[in-house]
Structure 1
Amino acid sequence: MDHKPFFTFQAGTSDLQLKASKEAVRVSKANSKRAAPRLTSNTRELAEAQAASRVSLLGGNPADRWQLLSQTELLSQTELQFGQYRGQTLQWLLSQDLGYTATILAGHQGEREGGDVSSTPLMWNKDALLEYAGLFTAVMAAVRRKRAPGTAAEHDQLVGSGVFTAMTYREMYESVEKEPSTYRKWLRQQSVRRPGSQLAQLKEYIDRRDKEMQPVASSAAATSPAVSPSTTSPPKQRRKRKLAVLCMYHVSGVLLCQSGVV
């Protein structure tokens, strides 16, 4: 059996096409209408058994796990257990939406490099995806571009978790809508406990964009005409204080809520 994905390259280049295929869009829409299954302690065992069954049907030999090719075949037929393409094989994912693949792996590499050594079903599944993607040089080149700070690829990186999962970093930072603005304000106030995590990477992006905007704001203030003080000052109004509750989904699927007076 052929374990390799079907790659599409951008015209006239050696760069892979990162845009989602029509098939990927269809699957994503279908999954958005269904509740995601809960990952349990036997998720990995079931997924590996299903992968072995697929390899057999495709003419491979999953029983000989000492063979490198057999291991690769098993990886290619392992199902994605999370996200908008859950239920599809890793081979399918790399064939249909490399942009999403690169985004997930860029975040996952950051988590592992930041010291996350957890072995949850979710992290196992991401490890399997990284191992499979690592077989293909062009895929890992796309991942590296996603991780490069200050590049167009970083601006287009997806938040990847919670209610803003499909929003890009740029959209999250530049949005004037209430919910993203509240989330940005909350994230700025958080301390990084897990360097490299998805939240830590997003916070790093927001903090860096804030610093880049400071010289612009200072320059604008310096060139503004001076305004003579008025003889009377407007009466001060007491600001009403409200209790705000911010909820988000952690990458593990747990709903976390943050409350505070604003």
Structure 2
Amino acid sequence: MSKQVFSFYPGRVVVVFRKGSHGYLLQDATEEAKRWKDSSVSLKDKSAPIKEEQMRARACSLVRDRGGDVSDQTEVLGEYTLQFGKYKGKLFRWLLENDVGYTLYLIKQFEKEQTAGMPLDGPSKDSLRSFVGYANSFKEIKAVLEYEARRTGAVSSVEEDQQVGFGRMPTRTWGDVWEGRADGFAAFVLSRTTTPGTSMDKLKRYLTKKTQEASMSSPLLASSQAVVMDEDEHLEQAMLNISPSKMVKQSSAALSSGASSSPRNKRPAGRGLFAYQLFGPRHDSWSMFMPRSWPC
């Protein structure tokens, strides 16, 4: 007689990823997803985007009604519906099960928009932010991103000649960023949480390595020298456009070259105004993208 395991949440729903014969995620869209994309506009959701608070209340109600765990953020987020793009109206969970390729695209696109200082307010952007956090909570998605970063993130033999590839000076080289770190840009990059494989992530890994090398070659360097970020009105204005209500005036402070190892729950030293004011304390996980109010 088989042993039965009692479940406190009989209505729990989990994501079932499609995998190939070798266990890798299949990134192509399913036939269902293709039909949705190819369907006439009249069959798609053309309603106005739903606000985050309304979406959360609806998702919590659905999870509770089917006997799921409303304290599980991932399970509740699975009941959120996309408020943007070609799959608008589809569940977050559905997208992971039907188009991993598009999921990876959205994660990378979100990183690019953050880097470029594009406005990230409004129901559509809130939906994108929540979905990125939801997707990054799965080890399967993280594994794909890390694999792609290893495969395509190999830098040339002369790393210093690599170009930044983003921001207002995309042609600036990594070497220039390191040598000119007194302007604060290197400190800004080191303070950010990045997505594997993106231009900012590659630069951050390079700067982290250079910081460690500098610390090893000169033990007193990290404690005796500080990098102070100069005023950058253009960059600050771009950040203000992201979330004006969160930006407050703060005075400049010192950021050592080893800033990347500062405690997670403290504002990064230096004028770490951008990362801290926008996203709060430093995060090493996907939770920074989760809805601001929780639980149900």
TM-score (norm 2): 0.43
Larger Rg computed on CA atoms: 1
Q: Name whichever structure is richer in strand by fraction.
A: 1
TM-score relative to the length of structure 1: 0.48
